[in-house]
Amino acid sequence: MKSTVDDARFPELSFSSNWSPWEEVHAHTPEQNTDLIFPRDKLVEEGSNVTFCYNSGINQNISCYLDRELIHGEQLYLNIFTFKLNNVPFIREGGTNIYCAVNYTIKDGTVLFVSKVLEEPKDFSCETQDFKTLSCSWDPGVDTGLFFDGQPSQHYTLFESFSGKKKFCEHNNQCNWEISRDLQETYNFTLTAENYLRKRSVNTIFNLTHRVHPKAPDSIHFNNVGATNATMTWKMPALGNYSTLLCQIELHDKENMRQEHNVSIKVNGEFLFSELMPDTAYMVCIRCANAKHVWKWSKWVTRTLITAEAAPSKALDVWRKVKPEKGLHHVTLFWKPLSKFHANGKILFYNIVAKDLDKKSELKLQSIPAPANGTELTLDQGSYQIQVTANNSVGASPASEIVISGDSGNEEVEEQKINGTKDGFLISWKPLSEDRAGYVVDWCEHQRNLHCELQWKNVGPNTTSTVISSDAFRPGIRYNFRIYELSTEKIAYLVENKIGYTQELAPSDSPQVKAINVTSHSFTLSWKDYDTEAQRGFIQGYRVCLKSKATQCHLDSVAELLPDNSTCCEHAINNPKQKIFLVENLQPESFYEFFVSSFTSAGKSPIGTFTKVTTQDEHSHMLMHIILPMVLCVLLIAVMCYWKSQWVKEKCYPDIPDPYKSSILSLIKSKESPHLRIMNVKDCTPDTIEVVNKSEGTKTQFIGIEKPLTESEFPKPANLYLLPAQDFCVPGPCISFVNHTYSESACDSGSCAHTPVPDTAPPCHLELLASPDNLLNTLEKTHTDSLGEIPAGKISLNYVSQLASPMSGDKDSLLIHSPVPVLCSEYKMQMAVPSCLDSPVLSENGSLSSMTLLGQDKHYH
């Protein structure tokens, strides 16, 4: 046993007494089945050595464990054992069970509380923000508290030696100390940490004015905020006039700190910012510290300062594209938006003014709302000065001028090829004139789009080359760079036009080829320029690939292995302007396939579908030379024959023989009959036709006529009288033919063949009156009967009159009564028909026989 004196107020007096002398005490033997372990609920520090005693009574085989780990034991007496634990670790706040067992039967146990070692407070310091309270703080380190009253957390005591005051701290990391009214200048603090097992102290001594930690400035305001300057005011709370403060002010924009200032103040501060950017948001930060001895700066306080807008400070970068059309200039203006640095505020609109330089008048004023970057104007072909300004809420930017002359857009210069690289294009040109304001290089950045996104670059007047680079440049895309020289009058003249690729690629497509002039031994291939987008490089020539059954290629071609392992004969065309190729030395009637590919410096276009051509037969050409004239001749003859057919017919085989030319005339003349003469149609007055009786059911067939007559047009006459028109008959002799087929007298006689022949009648042989003898006989009888010399009862032949329309050319044709209102009808051939044929003519069934005769010419019943 020993005693210890320990008082924070007198740390120098802390001491411990010596240990008392050992005293021997006899332990009683516990009762049966009553074990004893000692100490119980022991609290030790981490790393300590602990010895337990165990009085086992009558049991002598004892084992003790700490968290299932056997503890080394030593038997002091028969029933007394000791168990030692060296350097015990901290296990948990709730303590650790130690238990002892006899033959694995737990007899007793206890809990060992192991505390962490109390640490010395770190970073102990005190400071004041208001000269009223000192705030002391420290880092307490680990908490040594344990559960179940094992040990509470350590507590802290603050002792100030000059005043002799002591304070128990409520928190384990900070403590407040009231400053006396007399403003004690120096303080000497001792901070003591204590738990059940240990005490730890730290000390600090300081001058109060050296431990001033001001609070953050407040009441920060910006006054008189303009476009380039502003005034900031602020206050420092709580310090009063005890000390001078140094305030640090920083001005940041979005990217960097732009200004830094130090200002000394007492309580109220004021600072004027100048050289600010218009319409810019700044972050203003301020903090303060004691000016005489900077212990700690106050916290930063940040405020946002937004300056007012000002008129844009820079003219727009303007360029144009001119498209002349129908006497007008379609001008597309482009401009690049002003940077925030130059815009000095939000651009609201753009003003465009076009002045006619010839008429010295201001023509057009357009106001384009932002955020536009271009507009279109339509001007006549005069010269115009176009001014563009950007406007914000304060004012307009300086005007940007550009002049459109009458020749603008009509310039043509030859395209020049240039080679680009991945880094861009190096473009050089030759100046047009000495007096120039500069150059502009323009190009379309996205050539694939229909709408060209025009880009331009301004180059100084003394520069004749520049590098155009852009992230938008892509391999295989043709870019067109136009270099303009700007005169001092702001007129742009096209200097050069260059095209190039950052990297040429093999063509993606091949030309569309047609095979023309196919002969037996050759054909010609022809193609045109195709889309530059598919060319993907400068076309250097073409390759004609020809496949045929021939196994060997001609000398002017080489065998080329195709992707499908077939071969073709490849002819090289190294002139990109050549777009025609004659394939010759071919076999007649042979099958060929060809394909034309283009190539650039990067390679050939891919092989596509081959076009098939079959050469012609070798003799077909000769045949064409013979057969074609022959066919033409035959056709010519046929046309001639057709054209003269009427004449030939009239001459050779007229349909109606000319009675004056007929051989009958000679026969008549031989008879020397005074009554016989040729009937002249003009001498005859047509008979009047009267319908006497209309027989129902009788059908009249009009066969062989061009237009069938209907009942409405014609009645169906059963008997027709050919009545002499005595009143109208000319005084001259007129011969009228009575058609006895329909003659009433003939019918009354009962022997008229008008009576239909029964079907059982033997078939009549149609005797054509073609033979001269028959014809002659017939004509004789006809002539006789017409004069009434033949009695009705002896009629064996009926006359069938054939009436024809008068022909214009037949002035001498016979006049005859017709059913149609024709005054005179031509008398046509009077043919004798056997009586047996009479009936079929009238009967329905006999129409075929009648057709045979009537079909030779036009016939009217």
Residues in contact with another protein by CB under 8 A are 40-41, 65, 67-68, 94-97, 99, 105-106, 108-111, 147-149
382: amino acid identity, one letter: G
Q: Where are the beta strands (DSSP E) in 584-731?
A: 591-600, 603-604, 611-614, 688-691, 720-723
CB of 104 to another protein, least distance (A): 9
Listed in sequence order, the residues at least 6 apart from 13 whose beta carbon sits closer than 8 Å to its beta carbon are 5, 7
For the record, the structure tokens of 828 come out as 């046509």
Distances (CA, A) of 80 to 27, 74, 118, 172, 216: 9, 9, 34, 44, 69
CB of 148 to another protein, least distance (A): 4
Reported for 576-580, long-range contacts at CB under 8 A and 24+ positions apart, including other chains, are: 576/538, 576/539, 576/540, 576/541, 576/542, 578/541, 578/542, 579/511, 579/526, 579/527, 579/528, 579/529, 579/542, 580/524, 580/525, 580/526, 580/527
For the record, the structure tokens of 98 come out as 């130690």
CB of 58 to another protein, least distance (A): 18
Q: How far apart are CA 63 and CA 102, in angstroms?
A: 6
CB 537 within 8 A of CB 509: no
CB of 52 to another protein, least distance (A): 12
CB of 45 to another protein, least distance (A): 18
User: Of 111 and 562, which has the nearer Cβ to another protein?
Assistant: 111
* 236: DSSP letter: -
For the record, the structure tokens of 79 come out as 């029933």
User: Of 63 and 313, which has the nearer Cβ to another protein?
Assistant: 63
Q: How far apart are CA 174 and CA 170, in angstroms?
A: 8
User: Of 36 and 816, which has the nearer Cβ to another protein?
Assistant: 36
CB of 92 to another protein, least distance (A): 8
Q: How far apart are CA 501 and CA 504, in angstroms?
A: 6
User: Of 40 and 417, which has the nearer Cβ to another protein?
Assistant: 40
CB of 167 to another protein, least distance (A): 29
CB of 41 to another protein, least distance (A): 5
User: Of 112 and 276, which has the nearer Cβ to another protein?
Assistant: 112
Nearest residue to 118 via CA among 143, 94, 101, 93: 143
User: Of 94 and 371, which has the nearer Cβ to another protein?
Assistant: 94
CB 301 within 8 A of CB 233: no
CB of 35 to another protein, least distance (A): 12
Listed in sequence order, the residues at least 6 apart from 291 whose beta carbon sits closer than 8 Å to its beta carbon are 243, 244, 245, 246, 264
User: Of 56 and 802, which has the nearer Cβ to another protein?
Assistant: 56
Nearest residue to 373 via CA among 316, 329, 434: 316
CB of 37 to another protein, least distance (A): 8
User: Of 149 and 414, which has the nearer Cβ to another protein?
Assistant: 149
CB of 40 to another protein, least distance (A): 4
Core vs surface per residue 532-566: b (16+ CB within 10 A) or e: eeebbbbbebbbbbbbbeeeebeeebeebeeeeee
Distances (CA, A) of 672 to 662, 675, 677, 774: 16, 9, 10, 21
User: Of 106 and 624, which has the nearer Cβ to another protein?
Assistant: 106
User: Of 31 and 41, which has the nearer Cβ to another protein?
Assistant: 41
User: Of 66 and 379, which has the nearer Cβ to another protein?
Assistant: 66
CB of 26 to another protein, least distance (A): 23
- Count of CA atoms in the C-beta half-sphere (13 A) of 827: 22
User: Of 32 and 105, which has the nearer Cβ to another protein?
Assistant: 105
User: Of 91 and 263, which has the nearer Cβ to another protein?
Assistant: 91
User: Of 91 and 305, which has the nearer Cβ to another protein?
Assistant: 91
CB of 173 to another protein, least distance (A): 22
Q: How far apart are CA 615 and CA 521, in angstroms?
A: 7
Distances (CA, A) of 417 to 371, 500, 643: 37, 6, 69
Distances (CA, A) of 602 to 276, 447, 505, 543, 654: 55, 20, 5, 14, 85
User: Of 147 and 162, which has the nearer Cβ to another protein?
Assistant: 147
User: What is the DSSP secondary-structure string of 771-829?
Assistant: SHHHHHHHHHHHHHHTTT-S-GGG--EEEE--EEPPPTT-TTPPP---SSS-S--EE--
CB 156 within 8 A of CB 139: no
For the record, the structure tokens of 565 come out as 């392992």
Nearest residue to 112 via CA among 142, 143, 69: 69
CB of 194 to another protein, least distance (A): 22
CB of 112 to another protein, least distance (A): 10
Q: Are strands 155-160 and 465-468 parallel, antiparallel or unpaired?
A: unpaired
Nearest residue to 833 via CA among 801, 860, 859: 801
